Structure 1
């Protein structure tokens, strides 16, 4: 069901407090200026009789307001207002954010969702008050606004990185959607560079020590790097090769991310995937409230424990296969050997091996049973032969892949929030050590967070 209507009195208290925990949950529009702001906007708060509240940025824009240049609503953590209203809507928004309407049309998107384009338009109109295409264009413009503020990319490059095929179309959409021109956004001189610096915000609480330590204990040399305050890695995305480093800025509730790309056209979905890896968009206070309600008598819930992702489902599947029934250290050593042997070098670093490279190798360098080598090749072959290889349920047809492998890959490769790894040796140990007695189903739809809560106790 849809979130309840905003309560003006509660919104007033929240915006006056400037508490970052409300950032992105709603937006304040000022009728006298025609601007909408985040709850943490540094300007002097307007009088209550002059403001209106909107649950999403696009709702404020549809009502005729333009984004504030001080607090930059495009940088706010993702609003959860649409979460849970419809599985179809959630999938549609995810695909649109990945560029589905930049590379295809509404009919193709509807077919992927298994519905009619008319029904999809009705769902967007009902829950977001706008059409899918308008939503997509607005998100493109907000992302472009972020690039104009935070980078020195030339406007032509910003247009391409935001999914526009021409400068004219970019300028027209920017003005129509934001009531501003790109040149009004630009604060610094432009320069040609494939290295970008962006600020990615989240809503606290966020236990960065846990997530960065989790990455550190599984870090693969030359594929990944980091320290107690940062995480980085190489990646490939639809032919675009690059790397990123995300540095945690604790007192600002954000990560400062430097990205290097061979082509900026895929920047937006790449940034979305970095956000997923760091789990920046979940409403942690809601998750923790639900877990506390169900498990407070079993064990204390550690605040800010999030889901560290893996770059792709394929990589998550390969790492899960190599990690079956062995320790974290042993699994890391196997993955390291695989990357060193089959990964493509980019400068001093290395990309994760492709399905083709694994499928064509005899994998003789891996000290594992032949049956497990064949399982790796089975998954690689599956990715080469299928249109939608990320449908993990189809993996069950592959010899050597069972529910644990699939669930681990979905939890970290897709960041599925509702996976409980009851068969995992670490989870069994955590439950056995404390003699817990509970039903994991009580944690739904946040069972993945329960899994990581238990892992955090080891």
Structure 2
């Protein structure tokens, strides 16, 4: 983007650019989202930044009105496959607890020094500063929106004690946590607003999910979606919870209520919820690239997001059960698996008693013969093999599943697309894709990189 693009977007308060850049006002020392409702400042008093971290490190403090910490995370350069993008993915997926720069660099296959250099070049800040800025911005969001006490907020943001949290918060924002917090402390559910860049094709997301709904785990309303979840901690045990999200297109976001066993894991879980809805997608950039591939513009479904699974393991189980059967049959098998092996607890409602289920863990599946599933023994063996692998290698890349008998490229790629939010999966061997290519043979998927997952879903939408 050039200066004229920045200026036009901020003056029009265009929500499509929310999260792509931030506007800092030299005369007030405050930085804002481009959608801020405040009276726009004069251009000579404005400075532009691609990330909130750059604005913070330059001495600006976040606006209390538009709250930059609520902006969707989708900077303009995030579409390219870079080391920094991979680093950010690890940071945002794993949260702040126990994160070490040396371990992050090792996962990326580079040195600490080179990692610092890349962050300075692309983000204008060091990795350490970036992480602390994310901690403070998330803390600010919790202080504004939740009834959590300050000590729990500090804990959820990766601080071991409140004093360190208070010092860091004041140093970066010039205010204390108590200055920000207005809501009274209570046991009310954690409620967060999660924003996106429009458009968001809710009907497509809703219909895709409805056809594959997991009974007892997921719930789907006209404008809402909820589900239970489990989170594997660094100690190897699972914490449980559930969330419910209500779509608010007028606010370009979702109102999300979260119930969780341990607030320490609130940040990575909130990021996983964003992944389930694909809220970080830069739709304008993605759709322009899809059109360049030769996909007919009049067939393009505006605002398609990738409906995410909670984990690659869950996506892999779905894919294996879907081999050589219809979507309906695969969903019935999945629900049978959940009913037999998933943890569950009764929940009372006004009209009826229901049971809340959780998706079976790898350990639960590998310990079963799966005799209750009416599928070939070879497919049962594949399910057990995947569960055994994921139980003993929970953090290994999904592509290593190819070593397992019964798992081929389609299953791996499906799990990467829906379980890992990989934006560049092209399911060329899929029967539906092949049928669509018969209708539009001029489409060149290579031209849609790095957004071929969205091309895949648009191709499915043509059938």
Same fold at TM > 0.5:
yes
Q: CA deviation at 1:227?
A: 1.7
> What is the TM-score with the length of structure 1 in the denominator?
0.95
Question: Residue 251 of structure 1 corresponds to which residue in structure 2?
Answer: 250
- Give yes or no for contact 1:209–1:228 (8 Å, CA) kept in 2: no
> What is the TM-score with the length of structure 2 in the denominator?
0.94
Question: Residue 229 of structure 1 corresponds to which residue in structure 2?
Answer: 223
Question: Residue 446 of structure 1 corresponds to which residue in structure 2?
Answer: 451
Question: Residue 382 of structure 1 corresponds to which residue in structure 2?
Answer: 389
**CA–CA separation in structure 1 for the residues paired with 2:210 and 2:26:** 49
Q: 1:421 aligns with which of 424, 427, 451?
A: 427
Q: CA deviation at 1:296?
A: 4.5
- Give yes or no for contact 2:293–2:447 (8 Å, CA) kept in 1: yes
Deviates more, 1:295-304 or 1:180-189: 295-304
**CA–CA separation in structure 2 for the residues paired with 1:208 and 1:384:** 34
Question: Residue 235 of structure 2 corresponds to which residue in structure 1?
Answer: none
Pairwise mapping of residues 269-288 of structure 1 onto structure 2 (< 5 A)?
A: 269-288=268-287
Question: Residue 183 of structure 1 corresponds to which residue in structure 2?
Answer: 178
Q: 2:61 aligns with which of 66, 79, 82?
A: 66
Classify the secondary structure of the residue corresponding to 2:120: helix
Distance 1:438-1:15 versus aligned 2 partners, 3 A rule: closer
Classify the secondary structure of the residue corresponding to 1:243: strand
Pairwise mapping of residues 21-420 of structure 1 onto structure 2 (< 5 A)?
A: 21-84=16-79, 87-99=82-94, 102-193=97-188, 195-238=189-232, 239-297=238-296, 300-347=299-346, 348-386=355-393, 388-389=395-396, 391-420=397-426
Q: CA deviation at 1:102?
A: 2.8
Question: Residue 3 of structure 1 corresponds to which residue in structure 2?
Answer: none
Question: In the TM superposition, what whole-angstrom CA distance separates every residue of 1:399-427 from its partner, at most 9, and x where no partner exists?
Answer: 00001111111110011111111222332
**CA–CA separation in structure 2 for the residues paired with 1:79 and 1:361:** 42
- Give yes or no for contact 2:293–2:448 (8 Å, CA) kept in 1: yes
- Give yes or no for contact 2:299–2:462 (8 Å, CA) kept in 1: no
Q: CA deviation at 1:291?
A: 1.2
- Give yes or no for contact 1:82–1:128 (8 Å, CA) kept in 2: no
- Give yes or no for contact 1:216–1:227 (8 Å, CA) kept in 2: no
Classify the secondary structure of the residue corresponding to 1:232: strand
Q: CA deviation at 1:105?
A: 1.6
Q: CA deviation at 1:299?
A: 6.0
Question: In the TM superposition, what whole-angstrom CA distance separates every residue of 1:256-315 from its partner, at most 9, and x where no partner exists?
Answer: 111110111100000101111101111101111111122245862121111011000111
- Give yes or no for contact 2:95–2:268 (8 Å, CA) kept in 1: no
Classify the secondary structure of the residue corresponding to 2:97: helix
The two structures, once aligned, show a CA RMSD in angstroms of 1.6
- Give yes or no for contact 2:193–2:255 (8 Å, CA) kept in 1: yes
Q: CA deviation at 1:100?
A: 5.9
Classify the secondary structure of the residue corresponding to 2:256: strand
